[in-house]
A and B are shown apart, each in its own frame.
Chain A
Amino acid sequence: MVSARIIPCLDVRDGRVVKGIKFQGLVDSGDPVERAAAYEAQGADELCILDVSATNEGRANAIETVTAVRAVLGIPLTVGGGVRALSDAARLLDAGADKVAVNTAALARPELLREIHDSLGAQCTVLSLDAGRRLDDPTRYEIITHGGTKRTGVDAIEWARQAAEFGIGEILATSWDRDGTGEGYDLELLRELSRAVPVPIIASGGARHAEHMAEAFDAGASAVLAASIFHRGELTVADVKRTLIACGHDLRLTP
């Protein structure tokens, strides 16, 4: 039986790790290669790098970052941010990513998911989905874009269902309402997504401690992503794994 996964996430801008509250107020907190090696040593099951650069120069740095991280990293690496075309995805894989996360560009042109799937395989294709509860109906979720500034009105669950038909391998589901708050993952979002699609769901946004991760696994997530709690050194990956294993969850033990 496959183990639940813990995935530290590095938000990288211009080659440095940053992490902000609700995608804004970014603060520099480290060298990505050092962080990557440290997280693998702590027992991280995968690593995620999200390029939050706003410029082409920044994006070029992100490719260098991926190459440098790959040279030291012996676990899977997902890279997202700025993937607008098949060629962007191929470039990231060539640099050393194992999976690419596609967000806004797929919303504008869902065929992009099929192109990446057909050319690079389902195992490389991750849909990155930023969802928030609707203002007019908080029981429903809509897709949020542009760093949280744009509410699209697109139903998040329907979009996940549609994307699954285009051949994605995983969904990275970030709760816009919970990201950076430490209030825990949006469990209802995870439940609805895991009912709607057959592919694994990675929960993202809102984790403060291992109990939040346990809740996410119980809600149907196959993996949990967290950034701030690991970057700030409040908890190591090994800490949360020990707690989760003690609670009866199945995780990979690292020596």
Chain B
Amino acid sequence: MSADARIRVDMVKTGVANVASVAAALRRLGADVELTADAARVREGAAVVLPGVGSFGAGMRALRESGLDAVLAERIAENRPTLAVCLGLQLLCQSSEETPGIHGLGVLPIDVQRLRGAPRLPHFGWNAVGLESSAPEPAVGLLEEGDAYFAHTFCLTDADALEAEGWTVARTDEGSTFVSAVERGSVLACQFHPELSGPYGAALLGRWLASARTASAAAAAQGGPTW
């Protein structure tokens, strides 16, 4: 696949997520978007989206029932091009205060908590995404600073534990500081909705698609799977 070819994006079909906005945003950027619950495609796809919306428990149940939980965890462990949005980010964690007793995918070694100290919940609206890091040399990657659109009540807070695992972490303040996005390799997971974040979000999705094209072309050149 050449770097400028149209890329197919496989969007994980959980049945509990609203996917129209994400699909529309990616199509505006020239991607071919298809919904799938096929484990092989989610494992090997050139670019995979885990959409958000819904509750932690319902989301995990849907992934378990379709057998997608393991393949998603595998491809993320390999840093393959994967985008997780809102609840999608939370599903990567170990558990959530929203649905106690349900295990998440466990890719991120922390638990999801209720957003503390916010004047109003859910946290709805535009807020600043910041990249100040405690890491000595912040990585240059997909994320940039700017205003993004949020719609959530629960969040990730333990940024240090994520940075220790090699994730670049963006932070946002609303009553308290929480993790607004993480990236590692071609994996991008956002608490905000890039598909609803105007030009800022479109640019971020564009960089993620470009990294997926590059990764896909590199894999093909090495005689790997022809995604």
Interface residues of A (CB under 8 A from B): 1-5, 40, 45, 70-77, 93-98, 118-124, 169-170, 198-200, 222-223, 252-255
Contacts and interface: CB of A to CB of B under 8 A. Distances in A.
A111 to B, nearest CB: 18
A38 to B, nearest CB: 14
Nearest to A90: B18
Contact of B124 (A2, A72, A94): A2
A3 B127 contact: yes
A74 B173 contact: no
Contacts of B174: 1-2
Contacts, number: 108
Nearest to B123: A2
Given A71-B24, A120-B54, 6 more contacts: A2-B124, A3-B127, A94-B20, A96-B20, A223-B124, A252-B126
A200 B125 contact: yes
24 contacts: A2-B125, A3-B127, A5-B125, A70-B20, A72-B28, A74-B25, A74-B28, A74-B196, A75-B198, A76-B21, A93-B20, A98-B21, A120-B18, A123-B124, A124-B18, A169-B151, A170-B122, A199-B121, A222-B124, A223-B125, A252-B126, A253-B147, A254-B199, A255-B199
Contacts of A77: 21
B152 interface: yes
B120 A198 contact: yes
Contacts of B28: 71-72, 74
Interface of B: 16, 18, 20-21, 24-25, 27-28, 53-55, 86-87, 120-127, 147, 149-153, 173-174, 193, 195-199, 201-202
B147 A3 contact: yes
Most buried by B among A2, A72, A170: A2
Contacts of B123: 2
Contacts of A45: 125-126, 149
B147 A169 contact: no
Nearest to A201: B120
A223 B149 CA distance: 13
Contacts of B27: 71
A76 B193 contact: yes
Contacts of A170: 122, 124
B102 to A, nearest CB: 15
Given A1-B127, A5-B125, A74-B25, A199 B120 contact: yes
B199 A93 contact: no
Contacts of B153: 122-123
B126 A93 contact: no
Most buried by B among A70, A76, A77: A76
Given A74-B195, A98-B18, A120-B53, A222 B149 contact: no
B203 to A, nearest CB: 11
A198 B121 contact: yes
Contacts of A119: 16
Contacts of B54: 120-121
A72 B18 CA distance: 17
B147 A252 contact: yes
Contacts of B25: 74
